[in-house]
Amino acid sequence: MNRILIFKVIIVLTFFGTTLQKKGNCQSYELIGIIGKHLVKIDIITGQATDIGILDSTYVPYRQMTYDPFQDKVYAISNPGINPLLVSINPYTAAVQAIGPVDIIMPFQDIDRIESLAFNEFDSTLYAVGHEAPSSFFSFRIMAVDTATGGATHIANLSNTCQNDADGMVFYNGVGYILDGCPAPPVGFYSLNPNVGVASYIGTSTVVTNNNISVDPSSGIFYATHSVNRLLYTISPINASTVLIGTTHQSTDFDGELISALAFIPISPLAIEPSLSLIGEVQSNQVVKLFCSLLEPLQQGIYRIFRRIDKEDFELISTLESSSFNIEGQLEYIDHVVKSGWITYQVRFEDENGNKIFSNQVELYVEKSGIQIFPNPALDYLRWSPKDIKGIQAHIIDIQGRLIENRIVNNSQLDISFLPSGIYSLVLRSNKGILLARRIFVKE
């Protein structure tokens, strides 16, 4: 039997987990960047840029870029200084897909500028640094960004850098590194614990402001750019010593345009082999049901379920043997949550040799007094109660996690007649925060 069929109608996110513990990184990587509206490949020996493709001009300008190895895609920020929007980019074709605005959703804060963006493979989290408005320019927030909607959760305020800013950010082996935003060289290079926001000074770099940074996962070498002059450097994570490689300004196609993003990607697309898939839904007030599926033969070992509430650390809530899965490779688990807020779940497997496999992370919002949606399944309209909720923003997300519809609704119903039949999730937001988080519905 094909075990993928067990997803039924309860899919919230379908991001497959992969083996995180490797015996060595055998994958070869190449450096890509954004120059104006061009996605380019950058030679790390000479610095020369060659064109991959032209990005969708609808979302120009682009700033910051980071690679997600689990989804084999790149995330970037569109319009970074005016209502920043999270987009995904196919790094091999330059195709762009809008995801959603980057705003802090609980409590709601309208983020006006995103300075840096970085994906941390070790906790499967997309981090961003930004601020709300010009009046809060020196109060930069570290946020965890939902890759399905663009909504962000405030983790901590950045501190201990020149301007408490981060012009460039990257993660390597789970540790964050940032270049600060001082208005003139030298620029500070720092390590960062994103959970508390405190940066630790490493040294100064001759790379000037408005820079981008990335790291080659296969070699551990850090690369950065001067965005205006388009100079490519290496930076030491030990003492921040900087070596000039060359300039990307060797192609006349890019004359007069700035380099605004860097990221390392595999030379060829990754063949991601799924092993553990986790989905979940809020069934009633403060009750969560999780579904864990094995997408390969059952492995003998220990399966541990972890939970994180808001900004707290992950806690172990259950330890299960392989025998807990049924013959179809399915496991159901009920969690009674004791308080409202954003709840993140993950299943972690470990065999007798210490090899580990992590599932995807599932993030749900658990609320004390929920909104009811009906009918479900629905043909033309979705309705909800209570009915006196007006002026809300409705997001419809498809089964692949893509934002399909983003609309302001002033009554208690939403037209879904244009949707193809299938399974979707609904997010309702007000200016005070999330009203309804990823409630599943079926379009007939």
Q: Which residue did the predictor score with more confidence, 225 or 107?
A: 225
Nearest to 440 by CA among 275, 308, 339, 291: 291
What pLDDT score was predicted for residue 75? 94
Is the pLDDT at 25 greater than 60, yes or no? Answer: no
Full set of structural domains in the chain with CATH: 3-15+273-365 (2.60.40.10), 29-266 (2.120.10.30), 372-443 (2.60.40.3080)
**What mean pLDDT comes out for the span 30-50?**
87
Range from 35-44, 81-90, 138-147, 293-302 that averages highest in pLDDT? 35-44
Helix (H) or strand (E) holding 97: strand 96-101
pLDDT by residue (tens digit) across 146-170?
888 888 888 888 887 766 567 789 9
| pLDDT score for 118 | 93
What share of the chain has pLDDT > 90, as a percent? 8
**Residue 239 scores a pLDDT above 70:** yes
- pLDDT tens digits along 377-409: 889 998 887 666 666 778 888 776 677 887 878
Distances from the Cα of 60 to the Cα of 39, 73, 187, angstroms: 12, 19, 27
Q: Confidence class of residue 226 from pLDDT cuts 50, 70 and 90?
A: confident
Q: How remote is the C-alpha of 97 from its chain's centroid?
A: 14
pTM: 0.58
Chain segment 207-216, per-residue pLDDT in tens = 655 568 899 9
